[in-house]
Amino acid sequence: MSTTKTAKSALISVFHKDGLAPIAKKLDELGVTIYSTGGTEKFITELGINVIPVEDLTSYPSILGGRVKTLHPKVFGGILTRRDNENDVSQISEFEIPEIDIVIVDLYPFEKTVESGAPEQDIIEKIDIGGISLIRAAAKNFKDVICVSSVSDYSEFLQLISDGNGSTTLADRKRFAAKTFNVSSHYDSAIFNYFNSNHEIATLKISEQKGQVLRYGENPHQKGFFFGDLDKIFDKLHGKELSYNNLLDVDAAVNLMSEFKNDAPTFAILKHNNACGLAQRKTIYQAYIDALAGDPTSAFGGILISNVEIDEKTATEIHQLFCEVVIAPSYSDKALEILKGKKHRRILLQKDIELPKTTVRTCLNGALVQDKDFKTDVLEDLTYVTNNKPSKSELEDLLFASKLCKHTKSNTIVLVKNKQLCASGTGQTSRIDALNQSIAKATHFNFDLNGAVMASDAFFPFPDCVEIADNAGIKSVIQPGGSIKDQLSIDYCNENKIAMVMTGTRHFKH
């Protein structure tokens, strides 16, 4: 038996009607009988095309405000009947059920309704029942039926029936069935995640409709993919496609800069997911200059991000540095012209959207999921545990350092002076190593640490860190506290006139 099928009938019931007219006209031209419902029926009829209402087929009206329209054996029987099964053919003949060869049905826009902030009742009404049943039935019976379940597939389907004069191959129908089950599984995952937003059911469902193949993964011998919609967060204004490592760095940059949204001009430079430069100033130009001073060596090939518009003067300075990516909420026309002077430099315009509230990473034979660390240490969180209290400017530096510390790989120590990163010790196996690394690096780049502040992502189990910091000229410290030996560090600070505050919140980052 031939696997090529010529369609004689179609059921069309869609929410999105853009692009539907050419399909309806082509089906009419091919002599295909069209069944339809509600608004779609009206739309096709107004094109001057004859349509059979589903109500005429089922002898049953649409009820419950449109909740029940197509859920009927005369509809589903026509879709699910196996044309090579004698019993199926006999039964649909007995019950006068017409075969349906094409199903064009999309689903109510559930996700868009959720994103719009609509009230719950509106969201519930956008849970499709009939539509999802129809497309699953049609996809299941792909041997005989072709299913078009998304407006994004309209043009391909139109080309298919135009080239084949209404005929499709088994391979065509199976490919469209796969597309359909992709749509239906994603739809159900979105609904489940809405109802399980508090994660009371310990089940992980991730579904991303958009994806891209990357040149390679972390290294050239590894395959790499990105699943998600980058267009929602960025407009890429110039340069090559983002690589796997670029994406990791951009993610780190965006999360770090989210701490400084609506603050004074702030500029950060990142490398391998950690900041090597960060400064906040009255102008973005000076913020960039001072961020670069934090580590001009590591800045080569780095990721640059600003919390305000990049102007011509700043762009002129940036243009002298080889950097992979520049990110900002806006650019002056002249700045953009300058930055585009490097062919491969990626220039991203960041949109104002809400970032995901959870993190997911593979672990052993499964996945680890956690709430994102949205806790930012603020003045009200601080406990003043030493006799010496930090000055107003020191408090500002301490909170500035704490924000950066939260976004640096553990174990970490961050040294800050006048809202400028002097140096950080990153990803060390001991806190002493992280501190020694940061002091050595700050010294190498000629920073005077007298009057600088120190931030730690976790508590000090011994007083050795505050002693080393004291010897380097640091006189103010912020840390979570919580060690059973906190008092040892407090005693050292009191004896040496160091101010120390505790936040009560650890910020490990692994």
Q: Return all residues near 46 (Cβ < 8 A) that are at least 6 apart.
A: none
Q: Which residue has the tokens 């000076």?
A: 286
Q: Is 16 helix (H, G, I), strand (E, B) or coil?
A: coil
Neighbours of 279 (CB within 10 A): 25
302-306 and 323-328 strand pairing: parallel
State the Cα–Cα distance between residues 482 and 505, nearest whole angstrom.
9
Query: What are the residue numbers of the active site?
Result: 140, 272
C-beta pairs of 421-428 under 8 Å, 24+ apart in sequence: 421/275, 421/276, 421/277, 421/278, 421/279, 421/291, 421/294, 422/294, 422/447, 422/449, 422/452, 423/294, 423/295, 423/447, 424/274, 424/275, 426/274, 427/274
At 12, list the tokens.
């069309």
At 304, list the tokens.
């640059």
Q: Return all residues near 227 (Cβ < 8 A) that are at least 6 apart.
A: 208, 210, 211
Question: Phi/psi of residue 509, each to 5°?
Answer: -140, 110
State the Cα–Cα distance between residues 352 and 234, nearest whole angstrom.
9
State the Cα–Cα distance between residues 431 and 503, nearest whole angstrom.
18
Q: Which of 125, 116, 185, 117 is nearest to 150 (CA)?
A: 185
Which DSSP category does 63 fall into? B
State the Cα–Cα distance between residues 106 and 113, nearest whole angstrom.
15
At 213, list the tokens.
């193949």
Q: Return all residues near 2 (Cβ < 8 A) that are at least 6 apart.
A: none
Q: How far is CA 161 from CA 9, 25, 137, in A?
A: 13, 12, 21
Q: Judge whether 76 and 35 are in contact, CB under 8 Å.
A: no
Q: Judge whether 103 and 134 are in contact, CB under 8 Å.
A: yes
C-beta pairs of 197-203 under 8 Å, 24+ apart in sequence: 199/369
Q: Which strand (E) or helix (H) includes residue 257?
A: helix 244-257
At 377, list the tokens.
């240490």
Neighbours of 221 (CB within 10 A): 7
Cβ burial, residue 265 (10 Å; 0-12/13-18/19+): buried
